[in-house]
């Protein structure tokens, strides 16, 4: 039987946050659109095996830890019986959240009149692919192609995934809490999950090649996390290299070059992610590459006319919200829309009216204990410069933080601004629940705010956001509560 043929205006490959958002926006703009879901499910890695399920497990772990504290001599006058956990039930609850969100994305795509094809695509040229589905092959030729294939975990050749060597995907679906967990990689994924399993009662060890955890963040931000790990009995092997795994033991070489065997029921490998470029015919499309990533310009256009790329495929930062924003931009360009000038555009020089992807900042969050937020320039970026102001305000001086036990872990908000005109250049924070401040930080930077703008906003009391206000006041030389 001949393959079915589709000829949409727009073909999107990948149903993650970049792809499905691009699809919805294309549909809203009246573009005939086909979205190919290659197997991760609607929402992609983030919704199915990444951002959302990991935060669900982290939340459950936090609740378990709270009850465990109440059972261990009590906390805040509250006592409780020693808790137990049935991880199968926890995972079922997590899976229920994922199913609900999957259904929501499906409904939104249907509302936008986007045709979803489930199957694996392989391109013969830049605009034509064949999708292998359960019901047979579908040939698709489109005027515009949006590549949104996402990323996948990096596998170490000496620690291949399988059995008790797992990626974050398998870690989020374990049927029981491992007694001994070794995490290879001290980045945000490994630490988020390692901390969660420690809260659930596992003995946890972390093996990291760098001299400290979270090496992409400055030491002041990571110190409170390191303090939590140490105080909760997590083994830290820094400057160490992992080796092979067998007979329930992971071989490592310590910082001093000494061999060591770490007992492990599970070895969680989280040494990074790489763009998904293999197996779908990228080599037949004629697009230029930038190292392992697809090269794009500020319109998310590749070197091939009317072929676009968004999300993790296009490079760092590999964050879901970056992909979503890129997907919207591409949809609007294809539809020929003009984007209204933002305030930051009016402050600076006027940009072209065609939409571009040119954010001032993309904030990043680590959902560790405590959480970390970074937006814009950090202290390492301005080291040695005498034309900037830096100021830090501790959560220990914020009433709301003390009232919710979030003031004694070394947390703070830091602002970095230009000395000449006080324009904000970067904002960082570490502390409990600071992920909820990330949008405020990004908004101020995107709007081109100066310290006086933040200082002039009446911040609600009592909230953690007051630390942003006070840090800005401190940078101006007149903090109130310190």
Active site (catalytic) residues: 461
Closest CA to 35 of 126, 103, 102, 131: 131
Backbone angles phi, psi at 36, to 5 degrees: -100, 120
Handedness of CA 108, 111, 112, 113 (dihedral sign): positive
Burial readout 439-449 (b: 16 or more C-beta within 10 A, e: otherwise) = ebbbebbbebb
């Amino acid at each position: 039987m001949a393959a079915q043929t589709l000829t949409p205006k727009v073909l999107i490959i990948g149903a993650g946050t970049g792809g499905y958002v691009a699809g919805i926006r294309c549909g809203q703009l009246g573009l005939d659109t086909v979205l190919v879901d290659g197997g991760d499910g609607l929402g992609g890695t983030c919704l199915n095996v990444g951002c959302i399920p990991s935060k669900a497990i982290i939340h459950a772990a936090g609740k378990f830890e709270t009850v465990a504290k109440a059972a261990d001599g009590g906390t805040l006058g509250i006592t409780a019986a020693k808790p137990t956990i049935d991880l199968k039930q926890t995972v079922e609850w997590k899976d229920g959240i994922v199913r609900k969100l999957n259904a929501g994305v499906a409904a939104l795509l249907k509302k936008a009149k986007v045709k979803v094809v489930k199957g694996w695509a392989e391109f013969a040229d830049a605009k034509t692919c064949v999708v292998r589905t359960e019901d047979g092959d579908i040939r698709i030729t489109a005027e515009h192609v949006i590549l949104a294939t996402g990323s996948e975990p990096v596998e170490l050749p000496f620690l291949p995934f399988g059995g008790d060597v797992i990626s974050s995907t398998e870690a989020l679906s374990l049927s029981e809490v491992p007694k001994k967990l070794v995490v290879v990689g001290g980045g945000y994924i490994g630490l988020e999950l390692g901390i969660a399993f420690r809260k659930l009662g596992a003995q946890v060890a972390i093996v990291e090649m760098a001299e400290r955890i979270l090496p992409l963040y400055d030491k002041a931000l990571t110190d409170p996390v390191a303090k939590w790990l140490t105080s909760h009995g997590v083994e830290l092997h820094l400057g160490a290299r992992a080796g092979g795994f067998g007979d329930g033991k992971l071989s490592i070489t310590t910082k001093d070059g000494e061999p060591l065997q770490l007992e492990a029921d599970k070895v969680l490998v989280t040494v990074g992610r790489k763009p998904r470029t293999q197996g779908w015919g990228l080599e037949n499309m004629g697009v230029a590459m930038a190292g392992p990533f697809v090269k794009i310009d500020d319109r998310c256009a590749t070197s091939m006319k009317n072929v676009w790329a968004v999300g993790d495929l296009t490079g760092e930062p590999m964050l879901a919200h970056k992909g979503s924003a890129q997907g919207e931009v591409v949809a609007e360009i294809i539809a020929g829309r003009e984007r209204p000038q933002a305030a930051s555009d009016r402050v600076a020089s006027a940009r072209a009216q065609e939409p571009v992807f040119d954010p001032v900042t993309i904030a990043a969050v680590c959902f560790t204990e405590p959480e970390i937020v970074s937006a814009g320039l950090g202290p390492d970026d301005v080291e040695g410069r005498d034309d900037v102001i830096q100021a830090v305000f501790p959560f220990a001086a914020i009433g709301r933080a003390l009232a919710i036990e979030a003031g004694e872990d070394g947390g703070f908000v830091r602002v970095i601004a230009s000395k000449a005109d006080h324009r904000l250049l970067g904002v960082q924070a570490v502390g409990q629940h600071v992920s909820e401040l990330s949008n405020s930080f990004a908004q101020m930077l995107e709007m081109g705010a100066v310290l006086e703008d933040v200082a002039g906003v009446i911040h609600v009391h009592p909230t953690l956001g007051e630390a942003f206000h006070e840090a800005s006041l401190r940078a101006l030389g007149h903090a109130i509560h310190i």
